[in-house]
Amino acid sequence: MNEEIKYYNFLPRLWLILAAIWFSGCISMDVPDKFDNPAEEAVTHPYGKWVYVYSEEGFYQGELMAVEENKVVVREKNESLVHIDSQNVGKMKVRVVNTRAGRGVGISLLGTISTISHGFIFVISAPAWIISSIFIDTRNRNRGYEIWERGGDSSEALTAMRKHARFPAGLPEEKSEQRD
Amino acid sequence: MMGISTRGHLSAFLLMFLIAACQLTETSLHEPEVIEDIDPEQAVLKAHMPDGGMYIFEEQWSIETTGENGDTTIVSGEAEKYDEERELIEESQVELDVGDVALFETNKVVSNPAVAAKTIITVASLGVTAYCAANPKACFGSCPTFYVPEEDTTRLRAEGFSHSFLPSLESRDVDMLYHFQPHDRELDITMKNEALETHVVRHVDLLAVPSPENGRIFKDQENRFWEVSHRTPPVECQSPGKECLAKLQEYNDREWYGSAGRESLDEQEEIVLSFEPDFDANAILIAGRHTLLTTYLFYQSLSYLGEDAGQWLARLESGDNLMQHTEVTRLAGLKVQIKTEDGWEEVDSITEYGPLAADIHLVHLPEINSDDAVQIKLQAAKGVWRLNHAALARTGQKREPESIPPHRAEPVAGGFDDALHSLLDPEKHLVTLPGEDYTLSYRLPEAYEEYDYFLDNKGYYIEWMRREWTEETEPEKFIELILDSSTVFERLARDFGEVEDEMEDIFWNSRYERRD
């Protein structure tokens, strides 16, 4: 009985810890629906991926048009093309695919509620559901993004991100001449 | 009571894993010069043009080499054409000269690796249901799997007695460990039961055969071992609509394969290989494995039998040979023919079953003078074979193998501690259940680098009936499959066509296994 009381006293703290894990682990981007496609649609999508570019010149977001040796080109929401000097890019975040991670949340919730029927085993099974759900959901959510960061863990060059661009072979000549 | 609750809870948890984890994409870029390395079966192809336009080949595209000197490579298929603003211009049949393309991009849907990394027990009964429910005949099956060390990893390199699905069909299976290169005298092979099957294993021995100088040992279909010191790959390969030469020249993981017949499963396809040997040849080496078509047909047969499957299989077990006439086996063979003055002459048919691991077979040919160009035709039902390699060869002496039983059999996941005694005693079997793995240890000969190695296993397996299969119980169709397969093959061609593209993914992802 005493054990049970201790457990219920611990619950509020547990929720706080779990909430902190949940929110701290998540990558998020505000991506227009047109660029937020699940895997089966993303593979045939003709556009570049939606990107956040953090550079010394400023923050830009839009469709990734090209990643060349000396510049990153982004088409912003207002359709203007922005050419960013590669040397100034500190970080790029790309929305690769919508993993539909949210679909797991409902199941997690149902699973957690179902532990009420487990009697005292609830003490073990409910936290097991919650903790595992948080880790799995966060991980799945994050897998929908790819991040390049200067000096980061990856040794890849910035140009490795060109595969997410509309023009991975480089901007066609006509567009190269357009500068906003 | 507690056990049931825990299992249900675990199953729901796994379901959450499988639904929530779901699918990602894999994008790769390819320079036009290496376009032939791309497997058309595996991905959506985007061809980026220098003017910013793009073609998207979603399915049924192919790469062919044409031109008088074979110097023009064409990508062809149904494609959507977009301009640089990504306006759809047209959707039509396209033939694209690779030289006109700036860059190729492939995209494919892949399963989330988080599942593999984090799942402790994958695909318990509910997991199987979740993954295979839509196409239960695509679920993983077919006999014990053997994983062999290679460099820093282990690879699935052999499978055991694939067609021995009853005690009366217990048989021996010998697979060459072609890629295995020993670094010391100890070899650990992992034997797994990854399917919803009971495996009954009589023995798993290693066969060591001394290699000739500058040559290797290969086995024929009678499990006789031959020295081969001369080999030469084809110089030309003709396969309608599919590039094959590059895939067959070396024995590696690249495979030539195509789709099953859409009108009937017994529609035939053929590859014609041309060789220019500088030695007197008398054999051909062919490496490959089955696609999942025969597995599908086996499951379909059990599905037709439904709840009566046990009774029917018991009839076969008790000597009723009705089922032995099933024409499912007719689809399995790969006919080998040689061009003679009188036309094509059949020399043999490779009938080894199994969709899991490729094996290499030696087929004897009539004596061929080194002056003659040689043409060999391989013929099989469409979409039944995946081929890795072909080479004309000259056999030397027949050699006897040295049999090496395991000196240790240690359970890795589940299983019995005294497994070794069961494997060594010819009167006993080692019985394994889904998810059980064993590490089998062998001590190689002292001059271990001077041998070729083969895995020699014997046993049978019992397929577990799946609830989904019993929902299709139609024994009259099973009878039809035996007596008048043509009609059934036509009907199943349509059914199989609907699942063929996704079957590989479902099959490999529905392995029943424990992972760390």
Residue boundaries of the structural domains of chain B: 24-110, 120-400+464-514
pLDDT of residue A125: 62
The residue in chain A having the minimum alpha-carbon distance to the alpha carbon of residue B119 is A136
Res. A167: pLDDT tops 50: yes
Cα torsion for B336, B339, B344, B347, to the nearest 10°? -40
- Tell me the pLDDT of chain B (516 aa) as tens digits: 333 334 444 444 444 444 444 578 888 898 888 777 777 766 899 999 999 999 999 877 888 877 766 678 889 899 999 999 999 999 999 999 998 999 999 998 876 544 333 333 223 333 333 444 445 555 556 689 999 998 878 888 998 887 777 777 788 899 999 999 999 999 999 999 988 888 999 999 999 999 999 999 999 989 999 999 999 999 999 987 778 898 999 998 888 988 889 888 889 999 999 999 888 899 999 999 988 888 888 777 777 777 667 766 666 666 555 555 555 566 778 999 999 888 999 998 887 767 888 999 999 999 887 777 899 999 999 988 999 999 999 999 999 999 999 999 999 877 788 899 999 998 889 999 888 899 999 999 999 999 999 999 999 988 777 666 666 677 777 777 766 777 888 888 888 888 787 777 777 766 665 443
**Domain B120-400+464-514 in this protein, CATH class:** mainly beta
Nearest CB to B16 within list A46, A99, A111: A111
CA distance A135 to chain B (A): 10
Which DSSP string do the residues of B96-151 spell out, in sequence order? EEGGG-SEEEEEEEEE-HHHHHH-SEE--HHHHHHHHSS-GGGS--SS-EEEEEET
> What are the start-end ranges of the H helices in B109-191?
113-118, 125-132
Q: Which of B326, B271, B329 is nearest to B304 (CA)?
A: B326
Q: Please say whether the beta carbons of A104 and A140 come within 8 A.
A: yes
Which neighbouring-strand residues pair with B375? B274
Q: Please say whether the beta carbons of B36 and B246 come within 8 A.
A: yes
Residue B243 backbone dihedrals phi, psi, to 5 degrees: -75, 135
Residue B479 backbone dihedrals phi, psi, to 5 degrees: -60, -45
A91 at interface of B, judged by CB pairs closer than 8 A: no
pLDDT of residue A117: 57
* Cβ-Cβ contacts under 8 Å for B468 (sequence gap 6 or more): B129, B132, B133, B136
CA distance A48 to chain B (A): 10
pLDDT of residue B359: 93
Place of tokens 């009697």: A119
Is B24-110 a CATH 3.30.43.10 domain?
no
pLDDT of residue B162: 75
In this predicted model, what pLDDT tens digit does every residue of A122-157 receive, in sequence order?
A: 666 666 666 666 666 666 667 788 889 887 655 578
Nearest CB to B109 within list A40, A115, A168: A40
Where are the strands (E) in B414-483, listed by range? 430-432, 437-443, 451-463
Which neighbouring-strand residues pair with B269? B380
CA distance A51 to chain B (A): 16
What CATH number does domain A31-93+153-172 carry, 3.40.190.10, 3.40.50.280, 2.30.30.100, 3.20.20.70? 2.30.30.100
CB atoms within 10 A of CB B70: 10
Contact yes or no for B13 and A132 at CB 8 A: yes
Residue B21: its chain A contacts at CB < 8 A?
Answer: 104, 136, 140
Rounded Cα distance, B108 and B104, in Å: 13
Q: Which of B24, B15, B19 is nearest to B128 (CA)?
A: B15
Residue A118: its chain B contacts at CB < 8 A?
Answer: 5, 9
| CA dihedral for B367, B370, B371, B372, sign (positive or negative) | positive
Rounded Cα distance, A67 and A76, in Å: 15
pLDDT of residue B318: 62
Tokens of A64: 């990734």
* DSSP 8-class letter at B244: -
**A:9-68 residues touching chain B, CB 8 A cutoff:** 38-40, 42-44, 46-47
Tell me which H or E stretch contains B301.
helix B293-305
Listed in order, the ranges of chain A carrying CATH 2.30.30.100 are: 31-93+153-172
**A:96-155 residues touching chain B, CB 8 A cutoff:** 96-97, 99-101, 103-105, 107-108, 111, 114-115, 118, 121, 125, 129, 132-133, 135-137, 139-140, 143-144
Residue B12: its chain A contacts at CB < 8 A?
Answer: 107, 111, 114
pLDDT of residue A12: 56
What's the half-sphere exposure (Cβ side, CA atoms, 13 Å) at A177? 2
Tokens of B170: 């217990």
Rounded Cα distance, A17 and B180, in Å: 50
Q: Which of B341, B342, B359 is nearest to B350 (CA)?
A: B359
Asked if the domains B24-110 and B120-400+464-514 are classified in one and the same CATH topology, the answer is no
Which neighbouring-strand residues pair with B506? none
